[in-house]
Amino acid sequence: MTNVHPKVDAVIVGLGWCGSLMAEELTRAGLTVVAIERGPWVETAVDFPPSIDMDELRWDTRRAMLLPPAIETITFRNDPTQKALPARDWNFNEWGYNVGGSGTHWAGMAWRFLPFDFQPYSMTVERYGAAQLVDGLIVQDWGVTYDDLEPFYDRFEKIAGVSGKAGNLKGEKIPGGNIFEGARSDEYPLPPLKTTRLTDLFCEASASLGYHPFMVPAGQTSAAYTNPLGVRMGPCTYCGYCMYYGCANWSKSTPNNCVVPVLMQRKNFSVLTESTVLRANLAPDGKTATGVTYVDKDNKTWEQPADIVVFSAFQMQNVRLMLLSKIGKPYDHATGEGVVGRAYSFQTVSGANIFFENEYLNQFIGAGALSAQVDDFNGDNFDHTGMDFIGGAGILVVSRGARPIGNADFLPPGTPRWGSEWKKAYTHSFQNGTFIFGQGTSFAHKDAYLDLDPEYKDIHGLPLLRLTYDYNENDRRSAKLIEDKSVEIGKKMGAKLVVATNATNQHASPYQLASDHTNGGAVMGLDPKTSALNRFQQSWDVHNVFVLGASSFPNNAGYNPTGTVGALTLWTAKAIIETYLDKRGPLVAN
């Protein structure tokens, strides 16, 4: 039996960064909003006090804040000839499992994508010609530009309390910031985080090579701060416990710290926790959604009617919900037709592990986004003429905070796995060992896609999502360049041992912890034949369904996705409030 709630103006599936930002905008406009969150309620003061927040075994090793694969996972294969098998660990799919979603445990790098990242097709063809696009790549423009999103990036950074330094303020290039970034209308709300010995070494070495280092924009507050919603945040203490952890100091930019406290004061907002949405419900004509069906923690089935349905779960979960709800035409790899599941992209990772002889990196000091980077080889910031690839990577070092358990595997090649020699190497490497990380662009390929697995099902009897993916030639060629540049910088830093690393040297695997930045599958664009969503993240087929998050990205940039996810959410919220509520139909002609 299905139980039915009273109808609301909007139902939001997933209360992470996307869901909380959308809920804040809609409730402030006067709409009644219900958010449905799969995980439990968590609260900064209660669930993340310093007495338990530094528990590395609980949060980092056992990943207590992530959705257990036993509840939901993906199946994975490298190509369509293989049988896909369920992933039994996290890595690719580090899905949040609480109010705040993945935004609770993220590291905090709060990037803006480059102007090129939103228009990779038109800018590549204009500069190099179509021959620059490697066979099989899916490269298409997003339908929005950097200039469209700039005001919304600015708004997100102020809500999140981002620390950084502008490198392009109203067209003026400013040394010390990222001179390759798109023009900003305003400075960051807070100055950059403090530097460390590691970031200083990196900046000195890369600058001496002619590159342009800067401190990474960080979702950790460098000073006391009050955001535009009235939430007060405390300055970061550089404890080193950010990624996979909550933040009891109110210093990390999370939905829990920045948005949810405001939402909970509004009478037109409510949240249902420990409840799993199964699908959006469609009207008989299939052109509008009537709400969603979900199962609560007591295994009771409910219907939540709503005029607007917003999918704002993790990227893969959004795609799966689209497929289960039969919204949009599924991608058919054999014919190349269909859009849902098409244009999947990941992250192209390479770099170098470096070991000094007698340094004091003091890696117990850190923050999730306390990093320095060069963007000289990111996006299209360098001339690709004569190269048979597009894209590149930001190259960075990370003073994230080395923890006793996690750092035990970071040792020079050939180190014994146990005994006195292992102890000696570990003691030395804790102060002397680190890595240079090339976080690269990723462009979709016709052979990389998502669909529903024909065999494996979840606890509700619904098909798991199947990922077919391997690195393509564009990935491998760009990764090799970044690998070489990372080795060059590592040697210039004075490292005694520099070991090149390159994830693309082997077949992709769900157990390669190269990145959890998965993208696409329900992408935005200008053509309903190649995109599931229009430029406002509105379904082409069901006009009152909006899909938020990295599932909208037709390609990945050489950055973390969160800042762009936030900006796009605020862009879509404005379109809903100012246009859709009156129009109640497609915002872009199909």
- Residues recognised as catalytic: 517
For residue 492, what are the CA distances in angstroms to 370, 428, 436, 456, 485? 21, 21, 12, 50, 11
Task: State how far the alpha carbon of 121 is from the alpha carbons of 132, 261, 292, 419, 585, in Å.
Answer: 10, 41, 36, 54, 29
How many residues would you count in the chain? Answer: 590
CB of 510 within 8 A of CB of 456?
no
DSSP state of 504: G
Beta bridge partners of residue 281, listed in sequence order: 291
Q: Chain centroid to CA 573: how far?
A: 19
Nearest partner of 3 among 294, 354, 371, 419, judged by Cα: 294
Instruction: List the beta bridge partners of residue 211.
Output: none
CA distances to 189, 193, 485, 486 from 376, rounded to whole Å, are 25, 22, 10, 12
Which single residue is written with the structure tokens 């968590």? 42
Token pair in block for residue 122: 């038109």
Q: Output DSSP code: residue 235.
A: P
Bridge partner list, 555: 443
Rounded to an integer, what is the distance from CA 406 to the centroid of its chain? 22
In angstroms, the CA 264 to CA 469 distance is 40
> Hey, what are 525's tokens?
């664009």
Report which of 17, 573, 16 is spatially closest to residue 308, judged by C-alpha positions.
573
Residue with tokens 């228009």: 119
- In 3D, which of 469, 478, 519, 518 has the Cα closest to residue 502? 478
Q: Could you tell me which residues come within 8 angstroms of residue 55 by beta carbon, excluding any fewer than 6 positions away?
A: none
* Residue 130 neighbours by CB under 8 Å, 6+ apart: none
Amino acid residing at 210? G
